[in-house]
Amino acid sequence: MKKMTAVIVEDSRLARNELKELISEYSQIEIIGEAENVNKAYQLMTSTFPQLLFLDINMPRKNGFELLEMLDEIPIVIFTTAYDEYAIKSFEYNAFDYLLKPIDSERFAKTIKKLTPIIESKERLHRSDLFSENSEIFIKDGENCWMITIKDIILFEIVGNYTRVYFNDKKPLIYKSLNQIESKLPKGLFFRTSRQQIINIKMIKKVIPYFKGTLKIIMNNNIEIQTSRRQSKLFKEHFDF
């Protein structure tokens, strides 16, 4: 039987034990760790790389959303909280599910039922230094938060010490350098057009020859990108343009 590895992040020992007892009824989920605060959770997550995260929202010092902001890649997230006012907000994060504490066994069974086809179809994940096209990243900009699939990002662009991420009609800022981002992106899907920008080649609408051998690339969101001469040459060679 295929199993899905899971981590529990919850500040209450009683709540952690109750959740572990619920999970123990389902052999397809393997708990590989637990943490009572965000800092310990981050250390645990970045050493074990679980496929599933049971995450409390309201915790001392840092909350569950801040943990997601710290992680490079996001596993399947099931929020657990006693505060139902967070429900709508959690689904804005594209969470897999939301469980209100105390968690009812019948409600938990429905969550597992939703997980079952994913578990059965999914090989155990292996640690990779690169994102895949279907990897999800968490982005927080002020009070707005999103969980975004890598392949849905149109482009990355330097803005001072930040990087702007374009997807759909959104363009939040994240505190990561373009070099940090580029080192983890899936090869063949993204192309660095200059020191300032990286584009998703599947989001290109049009490529136009431009000044002195450079190229003007128009993205799906109608943003125009001008490539450097060196990168224009690489683009033409790579994509046989």
| Domain CATH for 34 | 3.40.50.2300
Residue 71 lies in a domain: yes
Residue 134 exposed, middle or buried by CB count within 10 Å (0-12, 13-18, 19+): exposed
Residue 128 lies in a domain: no
How many domains does the structure of the chain reveal?
Answer: 2
Task: Judge if 161 and 212 occupy the same domain.
Answer: yes
Given 106, 121, 136, the domain boundary residue is 121
Residue 137 lies in a domain: no
Predicted confidence at residue 213, as pLDDT, reads: 84
Task: Judge if 158 and 71 occupy the same domain.
Answer: no
Residue 207 lies in a domain: yes
Beta strands in the chain (DSSP E): 4-9, 29-35, 52-56, 76-81, 97-100, 136-141, 144-149, 153-159, 162-167, 173-174, 190-192, 197-200, 204-209, 215-219, 224-226
Residue 139 lies in a domain: no
Task: Judge if 19 and 116 occupy the same domain.
Answer: yes
Residue 229 sits in a domain whose CATH number is 2.40.50.1020
For the whole model, what pTM was predicted?
0.70
Domain enclosing residue 112, as ranges: 4-121
Task: Judge if 159 and 72 occupy the same domain.
Answer: no
Query: pLDDT 10s digit of each residue in the chain, 241 long?
Result: 678 999 999 999 999 999 999 999 999 999 999 999 999 999 999 999 999 999 998 898 899 988 988 888 888 999 998 876 665 565 556 678 889 889 999 999 999 999 988 877 754 444 556 788 988 888 888 777 888 999 999 999 999 888 999 999 999 998 888 888 898 898 889 999 999 999 999 999 999 998 888 899 999 999 999 998 899 999 988 877 6
Task: Judge if 117 and 160 occupy the same domain.
Answer: no
Residue 163 lies in a domain: yes
Task: Judge if 201 and 109 occupy the same domain.
Answer: no
Given 121, 136, 166, the domain boundary residue is 121
Residue 132 lies in a domain: no
* DSSP H helices in 135-224: 178-182
Residue 185 lies in a domain: yes
